Amino acid sequence: MTETVPRPTLEAVAARAGVSRATVSRVVNGADGVREPLAERVRRAVEELGYVPNQAARSLVTKRHDAIAVVVAEPETRVFADPFFARQLRGISKELTAHDNQLVLLLTEGRDDHARVARYLAGGHVDGALVFSLHLDDPLPELIQRAGVPTVFGGRPDWSGGKNGVVYVDSDNRGGARDAVRHLLGLGRSRVAHITGALDQTSAVDRLDGFRDVMVDADPRLVVEGDFTPAAGERAMRELLDRCPGLDAVFAANDLTAAGALRVLREHGRRVPDDVAVVGFDDMLPIAEQTDPPLTTVRQDIEEMGRLMARLLLRGLDRTADAPENVGGTPSSVILPTTLVRRASA
Amino acid sequence: MTETVPRPTLEAVAARAGVSRATVSRVVNGADGVREPLAERVRRAVEELGYVPNQAARSLVTKRHDAIAVVVAEPETRVFADPFFARQLRGISKELTAHDNQLVLLLTEGRDDHARVARYLAGGHVDGALVFSLHLDDPLPELIQRAGVPTVFGGRPDWSGGKNGVVYVDSDNRGGARDAVRHLLGLGRSRVAHITGALDQTSAVDRLDGFRDVMVDADPRLVVEGDFTPAAGERAMRELLDRCPGLDAVFAANDLTAAGALRVLREHGRRVPDDVAVVGFDDMLPIAEQTDPPLTTVRQDIEEMGRLMARLLLRGLDRTADAPENVGGTPSSVILPTTLVRRASA
C-alpha cells in the first residue's frame, strides 16, 4: 500500500476476472460456494492488480479484529483518579500486547453512556470485552449480553449466582476481610469499626460480610458506609469518632479509604496504632507505604487480576497458543487469594 | 431486539421480498441503484419481519460509527502516571459525549505497537482520530495518514511545516516560556537555568526556544535536558547545582519537572525563592499548589485543548450543529494563549 498509486478496487478485480463483485468478495474473504476455476480467475486478478481487501469488509466476514474492548463502569474521572484501575489496565495491556491484540478502552462520562458503549460493542469492532467495576442496577451486563460479545468480568457480578456461563476474576474479598479483622482482634483490640466500600458493588459487600463473619455481635454503629474514595474515608472516620469515641481499631474497605481515615485520626490527636489500629485493603503502592504511619493492609494482586481476565478471554476466543492443560473446556471463573501485609498501622 | 425471538436475517427479508441479498442490503443501507417498486417491496418485508440491520454491515456502507479514537503516543504506564493526559482526555471525553460519540482510547505498551494501532484505525472502527504526545521519528503520523482517517493532533507535529492539511491544537509554548524567563529577570535574577522537556517533542523544543529568545547569551551549561518527569527534574537539578552552583533561578519545562527540582533544592539547603526562584509550566493542579513552596507557573488550559481537538475533528466530520461561523471551510489549527500564574516559588 503506497500513497502515490490509488488502491485497486473490488470492482476492478471483478471486471478483470469477469465475475460479479459478490464472487470476488467471497473468494477474497475465504467463503465457500465459488467453483474452483472461477476462484482461480479471481485470485489471479487480485494478484495482477495488487488488490488489498478492505479491512472492514474482511473482518465483517472473518469476524476477527484482534482487538479487545475494556469497559470500566465508572466515569472517566474516577478511572484516572483511582490507581486501582490503572493497575488492572496494566495487567490487561501487557497480556493483550503479548498476543498482539489491541486494547480498546471505552471511556464514558457516566452510566447514561452505557447504552452507547453497548452499541459500540455490538457494532463488530472488537472480538470480546473485559468489564470491571460493575455496580448493582447497571444495565451494562444485560446490554453486553444482548450484544453477543464474549465477556470476562473483573469482580463477581451480582447476578452471577443465577446465570450460567458468566466468567469472572475476583479476589477472595470475604476471606481477606476476615484475616484483617482477626489480625486486629489478635492485637487485643475489641471495638473494631468498619468503613465499607460502595455497597452497590460485590467487593464491598463481600468485605463487609467478612467483617461480620468475625465480629458476629458487632455494635451496628461501628459500621459506616463509604465508597472507596479518600473523601469517604474522612467523612466516615469523623462519623465513627462521633458515634463511638472508644473505638480502638478500624478496618477500611480499601487503602484510599484508610488514608482518609488516618488523616482524620491524626487531626483528632489519636495515635496510630497505639490508640487506634488501622488496616486497609489492596496494598496499593506507593500509597500504602507513604501513609503516616505506613499501612497494614490486605494485599490483592490487582495487576494479575487484569492479566488473568485478558488470558481467560483470549483463551475462550482460542487466541492463545497455551499449553495442553487449557485444551477442552470453556474458561471458568477464578478467585485469587489475598495476603495480609504488616506495616506500622496495625 | 429481544432475547427470546431470534433476529430475522437479511436472507429472510430477501426471501420475503423476492429479491437478492444484495438488493436488500442496498435498500437497508440507503445506497442508490434500486428501482423504487423493488425498494418498496424490501421496505415492506423489513417492516413485516421486524428486521434490524447488522450494525457492522451498516457502518461498512454508511461509513459512520459515531466513535472517535484517541491515541496517546506514550506507553500506558505514562498515560496513567502523568496527569497531563488525564486532563486532556477529560476535555475530549466531555466534548465527544456531548455529541454522543464514543471515546475509543487505544492503549499501547510502546512504540512497537503503533503499527497495530494504525491497523485498528484503518479497520473501519472509528470515524476519526485524536492523536497526542507525538515524538520525533515516530512512524505513527505516516501510518495514520495512510490509514486515511481524519485526524486532529494535540501539539504541533514536527513535520507540520512541510505538509498541508495538518490540523492541530497547541499552546503558545514559546511565548509562555518567554514570559516565564522575563518574569525571573524581572525579579532581578541573572543566572537563569532551564530544565527542558523531552526534546524529541515540539512542546519541549518550543519552550527551549522561548528560553533562548530571552536569554540570548546564556551559558550553555545552564541548560540541562529532561523528559517532563519528576525523576528527570531531580537528576537535572543535581547536575545544574554541580555545574553552576551560583545559579539563582530555574525555569522547568513542566510542573512535574519543577516539583522534582524543588525537592533537590531543599535537599541542598537552597531556599526557594530567596536563593533560587523556580517557575514551572502547565499549572497542573493540585500539584502546582501542593509543592513546597507553591509553584509559580505558566498556565495552559489542557482540558480546553482536549475539548478543542474533539470539536475541530467533529466539525471536520460535519457532526456538530454549530453556529454559522463554522460553515464553509475545513478546520484550521489553533494556538491557545498561556498566562503566568504567580505563587510563592518565584
Closest CA to B135 of B159, B116, B118: B159
Query: What's the CA gap between A166 and B117, in Å, rounded?
Result: 30
Tell me what percent of the residues of chain A surpass a pLDDT of 70. Answer: 88
- B100–A80 CB contact, under 8 Å: no
Q: Please answer whether residues B264 and B240 qualify as being in contact, where contact means their C-beta atoms are separated by less than 8 angstroms.
A: no
Mean pLDDT, all residues of chain B: 89
Question: Measured between alpha carbons, how far apart are the two ends of chain A, in Å?
Answer: 63
Tell whether A100 lies on the interface with B, counting CB pairs under 8 A. yes
Phi-psi region of B214 (alpha: psi -120 to 50; beta: other; left: phi over 0): alpha
Given a cut of 50, whether residue B325 has pLDDT beyond it is no
> Cβ separation of A124 and B97 shorter than 8 Å?
no
In whole angstroms, give the CA distance from residue A280 to residue A261.
Answer: 10
Query: Amino acid identity of A339?
Result: T
Q: Decide: helix, strand or coil at residue A144.
A: helix
Residue A328: is its pLDDT beyond 80? no
| Angstroms from B58 CA to nearest CA on chain A | 9
Instruction: Kindly report the CATH number that applies to the domain delimited by B173-301.
Output: 3.40.50.2300
Residue B247 touches partner A, C-beta closer than 8 Å: no
Residue pair A169/A312 in contact by the 8 Å Cβ criterion = yes
What is the chain B residue with the closest CA to A86? B80
Of B36 and B7, more confident: B36
pLDDT at B203: 96
| A-chain residues near B124 (CB < 8 A) | 54-57, 59
CA gap B94, B311 in Å, rounded:
10
**Closest partner CB to A146 (pick from B1, B59, B100):** B1
Q: Name the grid cell of B184.
A: 525571573
pLDDT at position A339 over 90: yes
> Of A162-171, B120-129, B289-298, B323-332, which gets the smallest average pLDDT?
B323-332
In 3D space, the residue among A325, A312, A251, A343 whose CA is nearest the CA of residue A95 turns out to be A312
Averaged pLDDT, A230-253: 97
Residue range A43-84, pLDDT digits in tens: 888 888 877 666 555 555 566 899 999 999 999 999 999 999
Per-residue pLDDT of A105-149, as tens digits, reads 999 999 889 999 999 998 889 999 999 999 988 888 888 888 889
Omega before B286 within 30 of 0, i.e. cis:
yes
- What are the pLDDT digits (tens) for B94-116? 999 999 999 999 999 998 899 99
Residue A107: closest C-alpha in chain B = B103
Beta partners for residue B194, in sequence order: B223, B251
Confidence check: pLDDT of A327 > 60: no
pLDDT of residue B61: 58
Shortest Cα distance, chain B CAs vs residue A344, angstroms: 26
Taking an 8 Å cut-off on Cβ atoms, the answer to whether A123 and B59 are in contact is: yes
CB contact under 8 A, A104 and B106: yes
Same-fold call for A10-62 versus A173-300: no
On chain A, the residues whose CB falls within 8 A of the CB of B5 are: none
**Closest partner residue to A60 among B60, B100, B103, by Cβ?**
B60
Q: How confident is the model at residue B318 (pLDDT cuts 50, 70, 90)?
A: confident
Q: Is the pLDDT of residue B56 over 70?
A: no
Q: Confidence band (pLDDT; 50, 70, 90) for B55?
A: low
Task: Using DSSP, state whether B105 is helix, strand or coil.
Answer: strand
Residues of chain B with pLDDT > 90: what percent? Answer: 67
Would you say A238 and A250 are in contact if contact means Cβ atoms under 8 Å apart?
no
Pairing of strands B334-336, B277-282: unpaired
Tens of pLDDT, residues B123-165:
889 999 999 999 988 888 888 888 889 999 999 988 654 456 7
Q: Is the pLDDT of residue A31 over 90?
A: no
Is a pLDDT exceeding 50 seen at residue A5? no
The reply to whether B303 touches chain A by the CB within 8 Å rule is no
pLDDT in tens, A284-294: 999 999 999 99
Instruction: For A142, name the nearest residue in chain B, comparing CA atoms only.
Output: B3
The domain locations on chain A are 10-62, 67-171+304-337, 173-300
B76 closest CB neighbour out of A22, A90, A102: A90
Are residues B80 and A89, on separate chains, in Cβ contact within 8 Å? yes
Contacts of A105 in chain B (CB under 8 A): 104-107
Q: What's the first-to-final CA gap in chain B, in angstroms?
A: 63
Question: Which superfamily does A173-300 belong to?
Answer: Response regulator (3.40.50.2300)
CATH (one of 3.40.50.2300, 3.40.50.800, 3.30.565.10, 3.30.70.260) for A67-171+304-337: 3.40.50.2300
Minimum distance, in Å, between the CA of residue A272 and any CA atom of chain B? 25
CATH of B67-171+304-336, picked from 3.40.50.920, 3.40.50.2300, 3.40.50.1370, 3.20.190.10, is 3.40.50.2300
Q: Which CATH class, in words, describes the domain spanning A10-62? A: mainly alpha
Percent of chain A with pLDDT over 90: 67
Within 8 A of A67 by CB-CB distance, chain B residues are: 120, 123, 125
Q: In this structure, which amino acid lies at residue B11?
A: E
DSSP state, residue B207: H
| Model confidence at A323: pLDDT above 50 | no
Among A63, A95, A103, the strongest candidate for a mutation testing the B interface, having the largest count of B CBs within 10 A, is: A103
Report whether pLDDT(A151) > 80.
yes
Q: Give the distance from residue B121's alpha carbon to the nearest chain A alpha carbon, in angstroms.
A: 10
A29 to chain B, any CB pair closer than 8 A? The answer is no
Q: Is the pLDDT of residue B71 over 60?
A: yes
CB A120 to CB B105 under 8 A? no
Residue keyed to cell 468503613: A195
Nearest partner of B59 among B125, B130, B117, B154, judged by Cα: B125
Burial of B146 (0-12, 13-18, 19+ CB in 10 A): middle
Residue A235, C-alpha cell as written in the block: 467523612
Looking at every residue in chain A, the average pLDDT score rounds to 89
What is the pLDDT, as a whole number, of residue B64? 84
**What span, in angstroms and rounded, lies between the C-alpha atoms of B155 and B178?**
18
Query: Do A102 and B93 lie within an 8 Å CB cutoff?
Result: no
Cα–Cα distance for residue pair B123/A56, rounded to 1 Å: 5
